[in-house]
Amino acid sequence: MEEIRNQAFRVLARREHSVYELKGKLSKKFPEQAETIAQVVKEFQEQNWISDDRFCEAFIREKILTNNWGTRKIFFQLHKKGIAKDLAQEKMKTLYSEEEQQTILQELIEKKHQEIIRKGKTKNEYEVRQKLLAYLVGKGFEFEIAKKAIDYFSPV
């Protein structure tokens, strides 16, 4: 049990993890000790050393700041990390407003627009808009929000 606890501390020392992630990492290292892993994870939750709530907030903030991801991509990744749909939606609403998304979208649009123009492969404004929209949807933004941002964009 002590070896599993120590491994769990090492894992959590690097960054926040979801409960699902921690169980997965411990199960990989100690495949025959599922019951002990469950006890350790329960203890860690009771001591508040691991929290899906805290992980969810940290993950959303990181992906907004470092990756400029949209809500769809963040939500999908949270789901893969074992975060409940309700928790992810609640945190997304409080941490990533549509106004914040629009600010990020404008920055992304400006950079991508310059890149598209610089490459010179696009023949008209319609093609530029289509490429911008595909790029933003690929970054995980909702289609309507991305389209709205492109509609308000006016190149200098």
24-33 residue pLDDT tens: 999 999 999 9
Nearest by Cα to 71 from 135, 129, 137, 151 = 137
pLDDT averaged over every residue in the chain:
94
Q: Per residue in 104-115, is it b (16+ CB within 10 Å) or e — as a string?
A: bbeebbeebbee
- Amino acid in the structure at residue 17: H
Confidence of residue 156 (pLDDT cuts 50, 70, 90): very low
Portions of the chain given CATH number 1.10.10:
52-95
Radius of gyration of the chain (CA): 20
Quick one: average pLDDT of 69-89? 97
pLDDT of residue 154: 64
Q: pTM higher than 0.85, yes or no?
A: yes
pLDDT at 63: 97
User: In angstroms, rounded to a whole number, what is the distance separating the alpha carbons of residues 126 and 133?
Assistant: 11
* Check whether domain 52-95 has CATH 3.30.70, yes or no: no
Average pLDDT over residues 16-26: 97
How would you classify residue 50: left for phi > 0, otherwise alpha for psi between -120 and 50, otherwise beta? beta
Average pLDDT (124-137) is 92
Note the pLDDT of residue 119.
85
- The closest of 64, 119, 55 to 97, measured between CA atoms, is 64
- State the average pLDDT over residues 127-147: 94
